[in-house]
Structure 1
Amino acid sequence: QWTCYVWNLLLTAELHPQSGLVPQDLYRKVFVFRNDPNDAHVVVKPEPEQSLQNFTVCLRSFTDLTRPYGLFSYATKAQDNEILLFKPKPGEYKLYVGGEFVTFRVPEIRMDWEHVCASWESTTGIAEFWVNGKPLPRKGLRKDYSISAEAVIVLGQDQDSFGGGFDLYNSFTGEMADVYMWVYGLSPGKMRAAYQSLQLPPCLLGWRNLQYELKGDVVVKPRLRETLII
């Protein structure tokens, strides 16, 4: 992960020299969203400086929720679901790009940490979704679309307006870790590397050097296990 770590450190210094948010190395740590339902969330930076034609988002989550919840929300003033990773029920994820979505049905597993990666490219409109290091059938979404750059990125909620508008019953409760975002699509090998917590390529958002702000009842705690790989 050091490649991603060093790149993120340089990017932070260049794009947000006066941001006031000190990057933190969250190795072997997690965000714990404690209450259900809640308005707790984590705002993460930096946001991209230019519009996106490609992206990959990866993260791990651990919860016993069976109701809908948002994991990763990238909202702009024009579109609250510019990018949204949403889980409406066990065994199903929705990936939104530009307000439209595709549904991925995933194998139901015993209650444990679940690692997901979502990737999208504008030129083909191909959306990929990986669960615990394994790909699901690819789907088509928003071909030739461009994702706006001026955004608020939130973990643990579904933004229904720019930076807010949360529905408490779409909130996440549980633990979250290993959040990454790239402004390009990862190769299959790097998707598996993200699941295995191996060295990762340059990234926009990286868990080893994350600028974040806790909002509400969410705390940073050590992991309860050495590895989160199932």
Structure 2
Amino acid sequence: MRTARVVGLAASGTARDTSYNKIINFPAASNANYISFNPELPALTGLTVCAWKQDKDNGRARYWFSYAVPGNDNELILGDANVSYTKIIKVKWIHVCGAWDSETGNAVISINGKAVNTVVVKKGEALRAGGNLVIGQEQDTVGGGFDSNQAYIGNLYNINMWDRALTQAEIASMFNEGMCGIFFAGLSGSEPIISYADILAKEMHGDVSVVDGECDVVECPPVVECPVVECPVVECPALFCPEKECPVTECPAVTCPEKECPAVKECPVVEEIECPAKEECSLPARDCPGIEPHQPACWKPLEETRFKGGVSIGYIEGDINAAKAVCYASGTCLAISCAEKKGAVSCQLLTSFGKEKKGKGMTSFVYTC
């Protein structure tokens, strides 16, 4: 079987982007075919490099990822060792990851989610900063010294590098998601230090090109904004904040003196689909109307006074201040008649009022503004 290995980690002396389904093709063994740039890496005490590969070469050991620093052209290289070679392996897509941790020195190569090789290198040391990264070649000098016999031939996809050693479970999760997976499953909050989009944005030399893959592209539906529906106090006199949280999806079931509260329009249902950075459709929180009367100074109590018959437009129970606010906001209420009995308060909204004597076992107050 053909196994990938870390050839050199030598001892020293970031919703879906445009990179999805875009494959980098290296058509031939030529030292003119490569991508080269300075990724401005800091010193690292852990790292992981992963990619999907489809090799198409003549059986030689070839290298697809090379990081060199001054004084060490093999600071980090990833390639293939020719143990045995078959036509099936030659054209098959495989998922390859190389992970290294300084504390243990373990450098682990995983193929299709399973660890196949572990060596100990650079224990207690660091991958040095300021080096040059080349995709498709092995560097014998920083940024150069290429050999066509070592040049990569085939296709590369979704090359990413992290600044820590990923766990075997995380690597297996990426493989299990499949080549056409959109997200890094199990890697929430862990963005690559070098992303595939970063690599695709760099200059491609020679005959290196980007071609479309065979993954199905799922289009996200346009984001639907939910309408904001409010029931103004001026239209619904009995609308005031209860002690519980104010509802945000519908108006209270209250009959207004002149008209009903308008029905809330339902938020359009957005079809559930796996798309990156999907925005949820939700209604914003609604500010609660205040329960304090608008002009406290104008409310005056008239003791032993009750309303005339046929002028009531509703009751408010439990809070005199709330009744004042509702009466003031309605535009038709001129007074409230509040009765207190055994600590409970009940207020009636009035359009006019007249005097009446004090009732037995109950005191009546009329407030007018």
Shorter chain as normaliser: what TM range? 0.7 to 0.9
| Residue in structure 2 matched with residue 51 of structure 1 by the alignment | 43
Identity of counterpart residues, as a percentage?
28
For structure 1, the residue ranges without an aligned partner over 5 or more in a row are 7-23, 93-107
Q: Which has the larger radius of gyration?
A: 2
CA distance in 1, matches of 2:122, 2:30: 32
Structure 1 residues 90 and 25: alpha-carbon distance in aligned structure 2, compared to 1, 3 A threshold: farther
Q: Does 1:26 align with 2:6?
A: no
Instruction: Indicate which of 28, 37, 56 corresponds to 1:64.
Output: 56
CA distance in 2, matches of 1:174, 1:225: 18
- What is the number of equivalent residue pairs in this alignment? 191
Contact 2:110 2:117 in 1 (8 A): no
Instruction: Indicate which of 150, 154, 166 corresponds to 2:146.
Output: 166
Structure 1 residues 110 and 59: alpha-carbon distance in aligned structure 2, compared to 1, 3 A threshold: same
Q: Secondary structure at the match of 2:74?
A: coil
- The amino acid that maps onto 2:152 is F
| Residue in structure 1 matched with residue 192 of structure 2 by the alignment | 203
CA distance in 2, matches of 1:78, 1:137: 27
Q: Does 1:35 align with 2:25?
A: no
Q: Secondary structure at the match of 1:123?
A: coil
**TM-score (normalised: structure 1):** 0.75
**TM-score (normalised: structure 2):** 0.48
| Residue in structure 1 matched with residue 120 of structure 2 by the alignment | 140
Structure 1 residues 137 and 86: alpha-carbon distance in aligned structure 2, compared to 1, 3 A threshold: closer
- The amino acid that maps onto 2:62 is Y
CA distance in 1, matches of 2:206, 2:75: 24
Deviation of residue 209 (structure 1)? Answer: 4.9
Structure 1 residues 163 and 208: alpha-carbon distance in aligned structure 2, compared to 1, 3 A threshold: closer
| Residue in structure 2 matched with residue 18 of structure 1 by the alignment | none
Contact 2:65 2:133 in 1 (8 A): yes
Instruction: Indicate which of 212, 216, 221 corresponds to 2:206.
Output: 216
Contact 2:55 2:90 in 1 (8 A): no
Q: Which has the higher contact order (CA 8 A, sep 6+)?
A: 1
| Residue in structure 2 matched with residue 101 of structure 1 by the alignment | none
Structure 1 residues 91 and 43: alpha-carbon distance in aligned structure 2, compared to 1, 3 A threshold: farther
Deviation of residue 35 (structure 1)? Answer: 1.9
Q: For each residue in 1:96-137, what CA deviation from the matched residue of structure 2 results, as whole angstroms up to 9, or x when unmatched?
A: xxxxxxxxxxxx946301110000111111111110111225
CA distance in 2, matches of 1:56, 1:206: 12
Q: Secondary structure at the match of 2:95?
A: strand
Q: Does 1:126 align with 2:106?
A: yes
Q: Secondary structure at the match of 2:130?
A: coil
- The amino acid that maps onto 1:127 is A
For structure 2, the residue ranges without an aligned partner over 5 or more in a row are 1-13, 218-369
Q: For each residue in 1:25-81, what CA deviation from the matched residue of structure 2 results, as whole angstroms up to 9, or x when unmatched?
A: 311010111123442101256331x21111100111112321121110001112100
Structure 1 residues 85 and 124: alpha-carbon distance in aligned structure 2, compared to 1, 3 A threshold: same
- The amino acid that maps onto 2:147 is D
CA distance in 1, matches of 2:31, 2:75: 23
Q: Secondary structure at the match of 1:212?
A: coil
Q: Does 1:175 align with 2:168?
A: no
Give RMSD over aligned pairs.
2.4
Deviation of residue 158 (structure 1)? Answer: 0.2
| Residue in structure 1 matched with residue 318 of structure 2 by the alignment | none
More strand by share: 1
Contact 1:127 1:138 in 2 (8 A): yes
Structure 1 residues 25 and 44: alpha-carbon distance in aligned structure 2, compared to 1, 3 A threshold: farther
Contact 1:70 1:172 in 2 (8 A): yes
